[in-house]
Amino acid sequence: MDLVLLIEQLLNGLQFGVMLFLMAAGLTLIFGVMGLINLAHGSLYMVGAFAAAAVASATGSFTLALIASLAAAAIAGVIVEMVVIRRLYDRDHLDQVLATFALILIFSEGTRWVFGSFPLYLDVPSALSGAVDLPFGISYPAYRLAIIGIGFVVAFGLFLLITRTRIGMRIRAGESDREMIAALGVNIAVLYTAVFALGAALAGFAGALVGAIQSVQVGMGEPVLILAFVTIVIGGIGSIRGAFVGALLVGLTDTMGRVLLPVLFGAFMNPSAATSIGSALASMSIYILMAAILLFKPTGLYGSA
Amino acid sequence: MKLKSFMLAACAAAMTTGAAQADGLKVGMITTLSGGGAGLGIDVRDGFMLAVKQSGRSDIELVVEDDQRKPDVAVQLADKLVQSEKVDVLTGIIWSNLAMAVVPSVTAQGKFYLSPNAGPSALAGKGCHPNYFNVSWQNDAFNEAAGAWATENGVEKVFLLAPNYPAGKDMIAGFKRFYDGEVSNEVYTKLGQTDYAAEIAQIRADDADMLYYFLPGGMGISFMKQYAGSGADKPVMGPAFSFDQGILGAIGEAALGVKNTSHWSKDLDVPGNAEFVASFTEEFGRLPSLYAAQGFDTGLLLASAMEKADVSDADAFRAALKEADFQSVRGDFKFAPNHHPIHTIYMREVVKEGDVVTNKVIGVAAEDHTDAYGVDCKM
C-alpha cells in the first residue's frame, strides 16, 4: 500500500465523515433541544434525495435540485413536527420510537406510491464529474472534494448560528432548561418547529448530495440513520461539536478499516481467509470504536452527564 | 365455544377444498411488493399475470401476497396459502434466503413450487425435490458463464468484488469455477454498503485487466455511479442482476459499455420474444426486465402443464411440468434431472438506444449451460 493510495483513502474517510455529520447534526440537535429520539430522520434524508432527483430530471439543474431538497425536507419536517412529533415531547422514549418508526413506514410507502418502486436517476452535475489532479500525483473525484468542502462550510455555518446568533442562543438555552426559557417568554413551540425543520433540511440536503453518487431508492435512509446514531453516541448526545468529531472518527475508522484490515491480516494468513476475516472485522470496526469510547467516556466525547 | 368455531372452520375449509378441486387450479404467489426490492417482485408478478392472461385460461385463480423481503413473513404467508387458501401451486419468491425458508416445507406438503427467481445451490443439489421446478436459473449460472467468457477472451487478471454474504460468495465461486486466469484481488464488502470510495481506490491501484462484480440492487447503482466518476478505466463485467432494465435507468450513462451475462435480453431473436416485449411494454408502460421475462416463462410453463394434466393428479401434472412444453422467451429451455434449467447464457453489453440506456446481446457466453450441483440430486 503506497502513500498516494493511503492519502486518497484518508480523503474518502473524510468525505464519508462529513456526510455523516450532516445527518448527525440534525439528529443531535433534535435530541439535545427537544429530548426526542427521531427514527424518521432517515426518511427526511430520503425525501431530500427524491425531491432532488425529481427536480433535476424536470429542470436539469443540480443547483435547483439542491434547493428543492432543502425545501422539501424542511417542509416535510415542519408538517411532521406539527402533526405528530409535537404530541410526543412529554411522552417517554419508547412512545417516541414507536411513533417515529411508524413515520418511517408511512414515508417509505408514501414515496413508493408517488415515485414508484424503481430507483430514480440523479447524477453528478457535469461541472463536477470526473476526477481532479491534486499534488503528489493524487487524482480524486471532483464531486467528493466538493462534498468535503460543502460539509466544512455547513459545519462552520452551524457553529456560527449556534454560538453567535439569537436563535442559536435560544437553542442553547432550550438545551439546558426548557421550562425556564418558556417562562422568559420565548415561544417554545415555534423554536421547536424551527429546530426540527433545520435538522430535517440538513438531512434532506445530505440525501440530495449523496443521492448523486448513490442510489435514490425507497429505504435509502435507514442504513445511514444507524451510522448517524453511532456518531452522536460517540460524540455525546446533544453536542454539535461532538457530532462533528464523531462523524469524522466514524468516517475515517470505517474507511481505513475496510482498506487496512484485510491487508493487515494478509501479512500472516492466507489471502482468502484474510479477506473474509478482514472484511468481517471491518464491518464491526465502528461499533468497536463506539464501545471503546463509551468505556472511557460513558456520555460520549463531548456529552454532559 | 372454541370447539364450535373450530368445527365451523373445518366445515368452511372442507367446502372450499371441494370447490377448488373440481377443476382449474389455484396459484399462490409470494413475492416482494414493498420495501427496497419491490421492483423485482412487481416485474415477476406482472410478467406472470401477462402470461396467464395471454393463455386465455379462465380457470387459473391467483392469490398474490407481499413478503416484504422478510423470511418470517414469507413462511407465515406460505402456511396461510397452503392451509387456508388451499393453493395447488406456489411461486413468486425473489430472494434465495426466503426460498430456503419456504420451499422445503411447501414441497414436503405435496404442493408444487415454481421458482421465477432465485436458485440456491442447496435446492439444486442434495435438497432437490420432485415438486420443485426452477424456471429461472441456479444462482451460479450467470457467473460461470462469465468466467468461461473471460477465459475464452483472454482476460488474464481479474479483480473480484461482492458483498460479504452467502450469495455474494457463491457468485464469486461460480465465476472462479470456469475462469482459468489469475485473480489479483478479492474484496468482500458489507451487505447494503452504499459508499465504495475505498474499494474503487483499491481497484484503480490494482493491475488487473478487468473488474468483475456482483452487487445487487441499490449497491450496484451506487457502485457504478461512483466508479464512473472516479476516473477508473478498467472494463467492467458482472451478472445481469447488477445491470438490469430497472437498475440501468437509475445508473444512466455511467453503465455504458459494461458487459453482463444473462439468459434473456429484450433484443434476443427468439420466437415470441419480440411479441412479449411489445405486449409487456403496452400493458405496463415500461420495458420488461429479466425478472418480468422469468415471471412470463413461469406463467407459460404453468399453462402448458395445465393443457396436459389436471393438478389433482400430481404425478401426471409433475410429468407435464417436467416436459417444459412451452416456447420460452429465452429460446431453448429444458429441465435437467434436478428440475433446473438447461439454457444458453448470453453476453450482453450496455448501450444507448435513442434516449434509453439498455442491453444488447453481443454473443453467447455458455451454450446449453447446466448447473454443477445436479450430481448431488437424488430423486
3-state secondary structure string, chain A?
CCHHHHHHHHHHHHHHHHHHHHHHHHHHHHHHHHCCCCCCHHHHHHHHHHHHHHHHHHHCCHHHHHHHHHHHHHHHHHHHHHHCHHHHCCCCHHHHHHHHHHHHHHHHHHHHHHHCCCCECCCCCHHHCCEEEEHHHEEEEHHHHHHHHHHHHHHHHHHHHHHHCHHHHHHHHHHHCHHHHHHCCCCHHHHHHHHHHHHHHHHHHHHHHHHCCCCECCCCHHHHHHHHHHHHHHHCCCCHHHHHHHHHHHHHHHHHHHHHHHHHHHCCCCHHHHHHHHHHHHHHHHHHHHHHHHHHCCCCCCCCC
**Residues in a beta bridge with B60:** B25
pLDDT at A305: 57
Query: What mean pLDDT is reported for chain B?
Result: 87
Mean pLDDT of B180-193: 86
Partners of B194 on chain A (C-beta within 8 Å) are 210, 214-215, 220, 223-224
Dihedrals phi, psi of B362, to nearest 5 degrees: -115, -5
Q: Could you state, in chain order, the average pLDDT of each consecutive group of 10 residues for chain A (305 residues)?
A: 81 92 91 87 93 90 92 94 88 90 91 82 80 79 90 92 88 81 84 90 93 86 90 89 93 89 80 77 89 91 77
Q: Under an 8 A CB cutoff, do A2 and B188 touch?
A: no
Nearest-Cα distance to chain B for A139, in Å, is 8
pLDDT digits (tens, 9 = 90+) for B246-305: 788 888 888 889 999 999 998 898 989 999 999 999 999 888 999 999 999 999 999 999
C-alpha of B290 from chain center: 8
For residue B286, the chain A residue with the least C-alpha distance is: A118
For residue A251, the chain B residue with the least C-alpha distance is: B195
Confidence at B14, pLDDT banded by 50, 70, 90: very low
- A3: Cβ contacts below 8 Å, ≥ 6 apart: A136
Q: At B155, list the grid cell.
A: 482476460
Q: Under an 8 A CB cutoff, do A283 and B164 touch?
A: yes
Q: At A115, list the grid cell.
A: 415515485
Dihedrals phi, psi of B172, to nearest 5 degrees: -65, -40
Please say if the pLDDT value at position B13 is more than 50. Answer: no
Residues 40-69 of A with CB under 8 A from B: none
Partners of A276 on chain B (C-beta within 8 Å) are 164, 188
Partners of B192 on chain A (C-beta within 8 Å) are 223
For residue B221, the chain A residue with the least C-alpha distance is: A215
Q: Under an 8 A CB cutoff, do B226 and A213 touch?
A: yes
Please say if the pLDDT value at position B202 is more than 80. Answer: yes
Flag whether residue B217 sits within 8 Å of chain A, measured between CB atoms.
Answer: yes
Q: Do the Cβ atoms of B197 and B189 come closer than 8 Å?
A: no
- Separation between Cα atoms, residue A228 and residue A237, nearest integer Å: 11
Q: Under an 8 A CB cutoff, do B199 and A258 touch?
A: yes
Residues 224-263 of A with CB under 8 A from B: 224, 255, 258-259, 262
Nearest-Cα distance to chain A for B16, in Å, is 34
Dihedrals phi, psi of B231, to nearest 5 degrees: 80, 5
Locus of grid cell 460539509: A151
For residue A277, the chain B residue with the least C-alpha distance is: B188
pLDDT at B316: 92
Q: Which of B155, B118, B113 is nearest to B136 (CA)?
A: B118
pLDDT digits (tens, 9 = 90+) for B205-233: 888 999 999 987 778 888 988 888 887 88
Q: Do the Cβ atoms of A218 and A53 come closer than 8 Å?
A: no
For residue A281, the chain B residue with the least C-alpha distance is: B190
Domain spans of chain A, in order of start: 17-125+141-296
Give which of A4, A217, A259, A283 to mutate to test B binding, by max B Cβ within 10 Å.
A217
Please say if the pLDDT value at position B338 is more than 80. Answer: yes
Q: What are chain B's domains?
A: 2-137+269-335 (3.40.50.2300), 141-262+345-375 (3.40.50.2300)
Neighbouring CB atoms inside 10 A of B16's CB total 14
Q: Note the CATH architecture for domain A17-125+141-296.
A: Orthogonal Bundle (1.10)
Partners of B217 on chain A (C-beta within 8 Å) are 215, 217
- Separation between Cα atoms, residue A209 and residue A13, nearest integer Å: 16
pLDDT at A21: 94
Q: Do the Cβ atoms of B168 and B97 come closer than 8 Å?
A: no
